[in-house]
């Protein structure tokens, strides 16, 4: 089992669970200091959502086959949707684009289908030999527009750079779409909180997650900052938490949060 993968997936799951009670709540309307329960989805503390479930489905496919196979990954996504596989309490949150794609059996290609539903689950590919084409294909199981696929490519590239020991700034700057005139670590760090959008648009989620990672110095602060942005709290914190898990390691995740995280047996069974 890959130790960086384990830290990344637990980092993602803990961030997801931290954000679940506050999903859709506007910024500044709530306070969060730790692993709370109930709230938006009325779930016990430590419950993770579709972000973690689909990440685990991806992990389980790679573990079973030893390679990236979009057909098998898609089948596992449908198993999750239909029977609650890879979840603690079944399916209580699913994005419209993901639901439509799994129902139709094809990724959605229109520009309006650029939510963060593929970004939130793509992290395991950073710990494989997946090419950019592979990453795009895994995104396209549900999110087949170039904006979503490009975001996934960038996220995987940043995760790989961090796992190889690059600094956060260098990892961000080395990613294909986060250098030059588009954006870089310096410009992201200089953004004021009021400029950071935290809704469901994939580029907003990636930007918000990187802003949180660049602006904090430990796992705890990174994911709490992500949740406090409001809006799509679970996914912003999951995307940020996956990267923070790589940077700070499994030991950097607060043990009191890990102790309250539900479904750890499910997570362990899926890791490769």
Cα 192 from Cα 4, distance rounded (Å):
31
CATH at 238: 1.10.4080.10
Report the C-alpha gap between 170 and 72 in whole angstroms.
34
> How many domains would you assign to the chain?
1
Tell me the residue range of the domain where 114 lies.
Answer: 3-270
Q: What is the pTM of this model?
A: 0.97
Residues ≥6 apart with Cβ < 8 Å to 41: 20, 21, 23, 47, 49, 92, 93
pLDDT, position 3: 86
HEC profile for the chain?
A: CCHHHHHHHHHHHHHHHHHHHHCCCCCCCCCCCCCCCEHHHCECCCCCCHHHHHHHHHHHHHHHHCCCCHHHHHHHHHHHHHHCCCCCCCCCCCCHHHHHHHHHCCCECCCCCCECCCHHHCHHHHHCCCCHHHHHHHHCCCECCHHHHHHHHHHHHHHHHHHCCCCHHHHHHHCCCCCCCCCCHHHHHCCCHHHCCCCCEHHHHHHHHHHHHHCCCCHHHHHHHHHHCCCCHHHHHHHHHHHHHHHHCHHHCCHHHHHHCCCHHHHHHHCC
Q: Which residues of the chain, if any, have pLDDT below 70?
A: 1, 179-182
- Give tens-digit pLDDT for 158-183: 999 999 999 999 999 999 987 655 67
């Amino acid at each position: 089992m890959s130790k960086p993968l384990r830290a990344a997936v637990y980092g993602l799951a803990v961030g997801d669970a931290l954000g679940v009670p506050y999903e859709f709540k506007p910024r500044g309307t709530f306070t969060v200091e730790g692993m709370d329960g109930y709230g938006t989805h009325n779930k016990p503390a430590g419950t993770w959502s579709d972000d973690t479930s689909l990440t685990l489905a991806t992990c389980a496919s790679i573990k079973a086959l030893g390679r990236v196979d979009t057909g098998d990954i898609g089948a596992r996504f449908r198993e999750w949707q239909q029977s609650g596989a890879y979840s603690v309490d079944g399916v209580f949150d699913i994005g419209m684009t993901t639901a439509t794609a799994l129902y139709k059996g094809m990724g959605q290609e229109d520009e309006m289908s650029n939510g963060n539903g593929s970004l939130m689950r793509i992290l395991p590919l950073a710990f494989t030999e997946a090419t950019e084409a592979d990453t795009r294909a895994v995104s396209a199981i549900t999110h087949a527009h170039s904006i979503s696929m490009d975001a996934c490519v960038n996220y995987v590239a940043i995760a790989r750079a961090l796992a190889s020991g690059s600094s956060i700034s260098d990892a961000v700057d080395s990613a294909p779409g986060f250098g030059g005139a588009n954006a870089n670590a310096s410009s992201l760090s200089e953004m004021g909180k009021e400029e950071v959008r935290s809704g469901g648009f994939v580029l907003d989620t990636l930007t918000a997650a990187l802003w949180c990672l660049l602006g904090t110095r430990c796992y705890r602060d990174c994911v709490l900052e992500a949740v406090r942005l409001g809006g799509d709290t679970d996914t912003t914190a999951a995307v940020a938490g996956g990267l923070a898990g790589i940077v700070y390691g499994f030991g950097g995740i607060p043990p009191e949060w890990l102790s309250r995280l539900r479904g750890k047996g499910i997570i362990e069974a899926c890791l490769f």
